[in-house]
Chains A and B, each alone.
Chain A
Amino acid sequence: MYLDDAFRVKVGLAEMLKGGVIMDVTNAEQALIAEKAGAAAVMALERVPADIRKEGGVARMAPIRKIREIMAAVSIPVMAKARIGHFMEARILEALAIDYIDESEVLTPADEEHHIDKRDYKVPFVCGARNLGEALRRIAEGAAMIRTKGEAGSGNIVEAVRHMRTIVKEMRQLTVLGPEELVAESKKLAAPLELVQYVAKHGKLPVPNFSAGGIATPADASLVMHLGAEAVFVGSGIFKSDDPEARARAIVKATTYYKDPAKLLEASEELGMGMPGLDVSKLDESELLQTRGW
């Protein structure tokens, strides 16, 4: 099931995005800035997570007219977000021939029990995860890319770090277990045995694992790359800063040269203030985006 041609093509695009930065944009002008700065893809959305947080209300799929403008403006892949469980927003995005759909906890969930059955789409999906069980359930539903959730719109890297460390550690632990222990583990993770066995054998997910939710500086990007991210999503961090163009460029450079402190210093040198951040531990449970999705 996981190695058929249709699925390989979906994972293939995720492979091409590795080592890159996927930037949230809300219009064609921002998309062009992102492309010019070296973004590997852009994510079209109605409002960046920091604004969704501030303004409240129901956050939905972006207006189609906006997404079309963005698709027409740039030659790099364009992704868009659909609400968790909203399989018709996803169908509309597929009809639009979007390159990737993010079934995202940043938008207001449409279904509090079910995620989209993603296997049935021609367009690939990316989903958020906080731990290995969540990641494997999303892959079982057909996700061709996982991104750790972090806490979107917070400008605070702490949750992105927690989620990446959790998944990497849980994967490592599986590699030392015996076959009968994996059966028990599969039950505990609430994930298919076949996927648990894959992770135990390879020490990694069967799809690329990117990082999201709180990346605001070149240092943040290089930190999550060191912890095991294969690429990064930057949401509010760029267009909520004082210097979107320079910051976008700097984060691209930091993601490529994450092992090279001298290059990271160069990337950080000219930047002003980042986006204002939030102390995630002070947020009320109901204000957290990461707890959406099951």
Chain B
Amino acid sequence: MKRIGVLALQGDFEAHRKALEEAGAEAVEVRTAEELERVDGLVIPGGESTTMLKLLRLEGLFEPLRAFGERRPIFGTCAGAILLARDVANPPQESLGLVDIGVERNAYGRQVDSRVARVPLAEENGGGEMEAVFIRAPIIRRVGEGVRVLARYNGDPVLVAQGRHLVATFHPELSRDRRVHQLFLGNGQ
């Protein structure tokens, strides 16, 4: 069984831990560089990217996390997507730059614009529809070469993969459907 860490600095890490367990992985919380060394993959959950960034810097986790991403798969949702992106706008902020996408923060607007949508999933990933919960979500404005778009909503990519990494601008951990977590667990096998 794969041992997957969930970055537990802030955000909905508990929901991810449960989702990973339901998808068939062993899930553990990660708050330090030592804990990071003991996992096969990592989820960066939803939450506030500015808070996570602050703690990553303060606790000296930023570089270890980037180095981890050079070897192992990372799945980022919402705030996690923002941290994984190469460029961040609205406002610009530092990021790990592990996935070649450009994201705009809070791009749908404020909380009143948060929503639950149904998005079609690409055939090779099972097809059909998937629920997507967007909470003050970012929008992927640019997709670099080598980035595969697995699902779109209103024309914008919302689930993308590059190499071993997976990025969702929505929150599959807040839905019952475990296909996205299973997809991540299949990565790098």
Contact = CB atoms under 8 A, between A and B. Distances in A.
A76 interface: yes
Interface string A119-153: 00011100000000000000000000000000000
A13 B116 contact: no
A40 B47 contact: yes
B12 A76 contact: no
Interface stretch (A59-67, A93-101, A209-217): A93-101
A8 B134 CA distance: 11
A19 B10 contact: yes
A97 B47 contact: no
A38 B55 CA distance: 7
Contact of A13 (B14, B50, B59, B135): B135
Contacts of A256: 8-10, 31, 55
Contacts of B9: 19, 256
Given A15-B15, A94-B112, A99-B110, A77 B136 contact: yes
B12 A15 contact: yes
A5 interface: yes
Interface string A85-108: 000000000100111100000000
B11 interface: yes
A92 to B, nearest CB: 14
Contact of A75 (B15, B31, B50): B50
A68 interface: no
Interface size class of B (residues with CB under 8 A): 35 or more
Chain B contact residues: helix, strand, loop or mixed: loop
B10 A253 contact: no
A186 to B, nearest CB: 27
B54 interface: yes
B48 interface: yes
Contacts of B79: 16
Contacts of A36: 54
Contacts of B8: 19, 256
A12 B10 contact: no
B58 A253 contact: yes
Nearest to B115: A9
Contacts of B135: 9, 12-13, 15-16
A252 interface: yes
Given A75-B106, A77-B111, A256-B55, A13 B136 contact: yes
Contacts of A75: 50, 90-91, 105-106
Nearest to B133: A12
A81 to B, nearest CB: 16
A124 B111 CA distance: 8
**What 9 pairs between A and B have smallest CB-CB spacing?**
A38-B54, A5-B116, A99-B111, A15-B12, A19-B10, A12-B135, A40-B48, A20-B10, A9-B114
Given A38-B55, A39-B51, 15 more contacts: A8-B116, A12-B114, A12-B135, A15-B174, A16-B47, A20-B10, A38-B50, A41-B48, A75-B90, A76-B50, A77-B136, A122-B112, A123-B111, A124-B111, A253-B55
